[in-house]
Structure formats: structure tokens, C-alpha cells
Amino acid sequence: MDTKELKALVSLLEDDELRPQIEEKIFSMGNEIIPFLEEEWGASFDASVQERIEEIVHTLQFNLLKERLQEWKANESDDLLKGMWLIATYQYPDLSLEKLTQDFEQLYYEVWPNFEPEAHPYDQVKAISGVLFSKLRFKANTANFHSPANSMINSVIESKRGNPIALSVIYMLIAQKLNMPLYGVNLPNFFIITYNNEEKNIQFYINAFNRGLIFTKQDIDHYLGQININPHPKFYEACTHIDIITRVLRNLIISFEKLDEHSRADEVKQLLTLFEG
């Protein structure tokens, strides 16, 4: 279709009888039509047509996100940053992976001058924590804990406020670029990091939600006892990137439900089924 034909097609969205057929035709064109639809949204003075264009664009973007997440799970799950980027595109569909990668490079270069490769792991962790939490002022968003923005990696980098898992992911990705063996750990109701060097038999834990506090297995035992949950090996060992993305999605569902944004919660539940099926 040329531009004139596309404009005529979009104009028919205001016809309630023809709308189902018109939408089906538009959906068949795929995501390539999104830029044109966005232009037509800006050019339209009909609020109902604008609303219908918004719904179509959102549906196209959501379907693309589902396809990308399935591809990530099947073939790209070693790339945690890309998985977090995909989740963020649910709220920010124009977010660039290249821009997000550049933001992480900048964080890395803030930490790198303070890092000593030969230092004791405790001191290495303290160096990273010092830059992230003292110099750059990343911190826990305790005032608005259930905000969806806390799970969006780009928002957390911009605001320097996040939930346990987002702050942990930022911490881990920077540490891994420094060749440190840091991994996520799925605790009940919480998310932490473990330093685990099996060759040197050194393992301890880091709480990114509490400014990089270092603690031990015994502290996890105590935490589990406080919440009346029996110890399990998975509460002490590294989880997978798929586990991390799954937990981020669960957090988002809770966030949207607490905001009474049930349609968004239902959409994220659809994304979650891609990982739980």
C-alpha cells in the first residue's frame, strides 16, 4: 500500500461496523506500519480515532515483545541485560538496547578506577558498593516500593532508585564486567547476590538493597527462620537469568495490581506464561 491508501485505511477506523476488518488488515501488515500509525495519530483531531490507533500500536508492540521474549528465553538467556531491556520495552517501547548498553558502560567506567583486581573479594565488593551507593547515590526505593518503575532497568539507572532485584542486576552486571563471580539468588520475598569462587572456596552474600551489605549463610538461615520457611539449596545458590526475568515479571504484576491497573497486570501475566509454561 502507498501512503494515500494507508491514510484512507486508517480513516475508516472511525466506522464502528468496518473497524474489525480494518484492524485485521492493519495487524496483518506487522510492526512496519507502527511509524505510519504514530504519524497519523499526531495528524488526527478525532479523539476516538487516536484511541483506536493507540490500541493497535500497543497490540503490535506487545505481540513483538512476546516474540522477542520467547527468542530470548530459547537462545539468548545468557544476556541478562537484553532480558531486562525487553521487560523495560513494555513501558518504554522506544527504548534502545544500544543506549542502555552505553549507560552500563558509563557505570562500569565509574567503578573501574576504584577496583583492584588483586584485592580480597570483600574489598572488591566494598569498592563497587562505595561507587554505586556513595558516589553515584543509588539507593532502595523504600518510599515507593511497589512502583513499576522500580523494575524497569532504564528508570532505575535514571532515578537511581530501585527494588532489590533491579539494584542487584545493576550491581551484578558491573561486577561481572570486572570478572567477579557474582550471581543472583532467589530468596523468598527478597533478592540478593552471592559471590561464589569455587576454586578458592570463597562464598558470601551481598544485599544491594542495603548499600551492598556483606553477610553470610548463617544470616540467610536466620532470615528464613524469621519468616518460618525451611532452608532449601536454591536459597543459597545462584539462580538462572530466566529465573531473574521471571521474578521481575512477578514483581511487575504485583505493582500493577496495587495500582489497580488490572489490564496491565493481565498483560504481564501473559508474558509470565512464556516462562512458566
pLDDT of residue 48: 77
pLDDT of residue 2: 65
Task: Pick 21 or 210 by higher pLDDT.
Answer: 210
Judged against a pLDDT cut of 90, whether residue 133 lies above it is answered with yes
Judged against a pLDDT cut of 90, whether residue 14 lies above it is answered with no
- pLDDT tens, position by position, 77-106: 999 999 999 999 999 999 999 999 999 999
- pLDDT tens, position by position, 204-256: 999 999 999 999 999 999 999 999 999 999 999 999 999 999 999 999 999 99
pLDDT of residue 189: 93
pLDDT of residue 36: 84
Written in H, E and C, the secondary structure of the chain is: CCHHHHHHHHHHHHCCCCHHHHHHHHHHCHHHHHHHHHHHHHHCCCHHHHHHHHHHHHHHHHHHHHHHHHHHHHHHCCCHHHHHHHHHCCCCCCCCHHHHHHHHHHHHHHHHHHCCCCCCHHHHHHHHHHHHHHHCCCEECCCCCCCHHHHCHHHHHHHCEECHHHHHHHHHHHHHHCCCCEEEEEECCEEEEEEEECCCCEEEEEEHHHCCEEECHHHHHHHHHHCCCCCCHHHCCCCCHHHHHHHHHHHHHHHHHHCCCHHHHHHHHHHHHHHHC
Judged against a pLDDT cut of 80, whether residue 199 lies above it is answered with yes
Report the predicted TM-score, pTM, of the whole model to 2 decimal places. 0.90
